[in-house]
Amino acid sequence: MAVRLPFDNSYARLPPRFFAPLAPTPVAAPRLVRLNVALAKDLGLDAAELASAEGVEILAGNRVAEGSQPLAQAYAGHQFGNFVPQLGDGRAILLGEIVTPVGQRRDIQLKGAGRTPFSRGGDGRAALGPVLREYLVSEAMAALGLPTTRALAAVTTGETVRREGMPPGAILTRVAASHLRVGTFQYFAAQGDTDAVKTLSDYAIARHYPEAAVAANPYRALLDGVVARQADLVAGWLLIGFIHGVMNTDNTSISGETIDFGPCAFMDAYDPATVFSSIDLHGRYAYDSQPGVAYWNMARLAETLLPLLASDEDAALASGKEAIAGFAPRFEAAYRGGLRRKAGLLSPRDGDVALIQDLLTRMAENKADFTLTFRHLAGAALGPENDEAIRALFADPTSYDDWASRWRIRLLDEAASPDERHAAMQMVNPAYIPRNHLVEAALEAATEAGDFRPFETLMDVLSKPYEARPGLEPFAKAPDPTTRIYQTFCGT
């Protein structure tokens, strides 16, 4: 069956120093373990073609599709605060871009496709567990409504990878608005290659911020645009309890998508200092540190753009500072607006944020589950007869009662009816998130026993996170102390 992938590869048309052209390294015995049929359709691709023998060969890197110009992208990045002038795609290969039926340009990338000139000591491969984790969590993020890269397919390679326990190897087909990162700008800026920074900026503007092209200063408008999208993104993460775990500048996307799902995790009990990643020894990327880190990452982007912001150095610096100063207000507005919606406060009043902050403080003191507290708050919005579900989450239920009585007085000021409020709150407070213990159990069954049923079930549960469905109660529950997971690993 001929596989039609209508590639149009704009990145491959950039100057040669932007990438290394190379094909994926073939694998021993590719097998498709998951295809995202709905996403394939959105991309205008034929799922049956992708699932055919030829399609699977393409998804495994054993065959280069017609029109594909495979390449590894060059980039740099600050990793945990330390600048690394050359990182690049060490195990990912961009097959090319396609334009979807509604006109969106999307990268099609294989992650785990073999060594590249950027691999350094790495093997260029990915293990099945982390591939399935990225598949699950990125698709869950999409269903939750956050900007994110997507997962089109996962194939196993028939080979093992050099990791602890010699796990099975796999390749993820990742779909992204682009793979431009803050680190891509840093790569050229660190070499003093202002021409390349300009070329890259023009490319980013055309691809992601077309409105910037007609601004008084397009490069300043580009910076403003990235700052705004990153502020919104991180606010969105906090509002659903997401911890990225590796917010290095090479994992910070210019398009504003969540990218690179390594040791990321969703919080169970609310604790703003939560850190899951085993490699984040100092808690640099803790839950409540994420806005500050995103701001820091935006400052690194601003530095790369200075030569383009103004010809006068002082003026350029002032412009860059002004742009990143836009982060905090943008973040605050998005975060506070989101908190209000989560608490059903749809007609803004003074004191709303303090009221919700007080709930968060009480949740932290009482180790209340973040997702369930807000989900059940939608029920409590109908009346105090539904309070018990929340009280049960608090070590001291009276701490919730005290707060709820003040919340109900505040609700009297709302224009919406209780039913409207209930419905609106359910649309922003998910019933299901990729809870770590469920994710781990699904990955373990797949990697240890070749049993993909728990993975498939979890994918189905997470496809409609805001819609409570009968029979799925176990997937909404918080972990008990024996199943709760406190640490996650990259496994890369």
Q: Please list the active-site residues.
A: 250
Greatest alpha-carbon span in the chain? 66
Query: Where does this chain touch ligand AMP (CB under 6 A) — which range of 116-124, 216-224, 292-300, 312-320?
Result: 116-124
CB 455 within 8 A of CB 420: no
**Which residues are CB-contacts of 88 (< 8 A; sequence separation ≥ 6)?**
20, 72, 73, 74, 75, 116, 117, 118, 187
Could you tell which of ligand AMP, Mg ion, none binds residue 284, using a CB distance below 5 to 8 A set by kind?
A: none
Nearest-CB residue for ligand AMP: 122
Helix (H) or strand (E) holding 360: helix 352-365
Question: Closest distance between ligand AMP and the C-beta of residue 164, in Å?
Answer: 13
Confirm or reject binding of residue 142 to ligand AMP (CB under 6 A).
no
CB 365 within 8 A of CB 373: no
x/- track of binding to ligand AMP for residues 400-429 (CB under 6 A): ------------------------------
Query: Where does this chain touch Mg ion (CB under 5 A) — which range of 88-96, 253-261, 376-384, 460-468?
Result: 253-261
Among 251, 258, 304, 399, binds ligand AMP (CB under 6 A): 251
Question: Closest distance between ligand AMP and the C-beta of residue 158, in Å?
Answer: 18
CB 287 within 8 A of CB 293: no
Could you tell which of Mg ion, ligand AMP, none binds residue 90, using a CB distance below 5 to 8 A set by kind?
A: ligand AMP
Query: Where does this chain touch Mg ion (CB under 5 A) — which range of 98-106, 149-157, 243-251, 322-330?
Result: 243-251
What is the distance of C-alpha 477 from the center of its chain? 23
Confirm or reject binding of residue 290 to Mg ion (CB under 5 A).
no
Q: Amino acid letter at 3?
A: V
The interface with ligand AMP within residues 68-87 (CB under 6 A) comprises 87
Confirm or reject binding of residue 260 to ligand AMP (CB under 6 A).
yes
Question: How far is residue 88's CA from residue 82's CA, in Å, rounded to a whole number?
Answer: 16
Question: Of the two residues 141 and 306, which places its CB atom closer to ligand AMP in the complex?
Answer: 141
Confirm or reject binding of residue 251 to Mg ion (CB under 5 A).
yes
Confirm or reject binding of residue 88 to ligand AMP (CB under 6 A).
yes
Query: Where does this chain touch ligand AMP (CB under 6 A) — which range of 99-107, 122-130, 312-320, 367-375?
Result: 122-130
Site size toward ligand AMP (CB under 6 A) is: 17
Q: Which residue has the tokens 């400052």?
A: 299
CB 53 within 8 A of CB 109: no
Among 260, 268, 280, 369, binds Mg ion (CB under 5 A): 260
**Dihedral of CA 404/409/410/415: which sign?**
positive
Confirm or reject binding of residue 159 to ligand AMP (CB under 6 A).
no
Question: How far is residue 207's CA from residue 253's CA, in Å, rounded to a whole number?
Answer: 13
Nearest to 371 by CA among 417, 439, 426: 426
**Which residues are CB-contacts of 101 (< 8 A; sequence separation ≥ 6)?**
44
Question: Closest distance between ligand AMP and the C-beta of residue 183, in Å?
Answer: 9
The tokens of 54 are what? 């030829």
Among 125, 208, 421, 422, binds ligand AMP (CB under 6 A): 125
Question: Of the two residues 92 and 197, which places its CB atom closer to ligand AMP in the complex?
Answer: 92
Euclidean distance between the first and the last CA atom of the chain, given in angstroms as a whole number: 34
Could you tell which of ligand AMP, Mg ion, none binds residue 252, using a CB distance below 5 to 8 A set by kind?
A: none
Among 21, 122, 384, 418, binds ligand AMP (CB under 6 A): 122
**Which residues are CB-contacts of 492 (< 8 A; sequence separation ≥ 6)?**
126, 127, 130, 262
Q: Which residue has the tokens 């920074």?
A: 197
CB 25 within 8 A of CB 120: no
Question: Where does this chain bind ligand AMP (CB under 6 A)?
Answer: 87-91, 118-119, 122-125, 246, 250-251, 260, 262, 492
Question: Where does this chain bind Mg ion (CB under 5 A)?
Answer: 251, 260
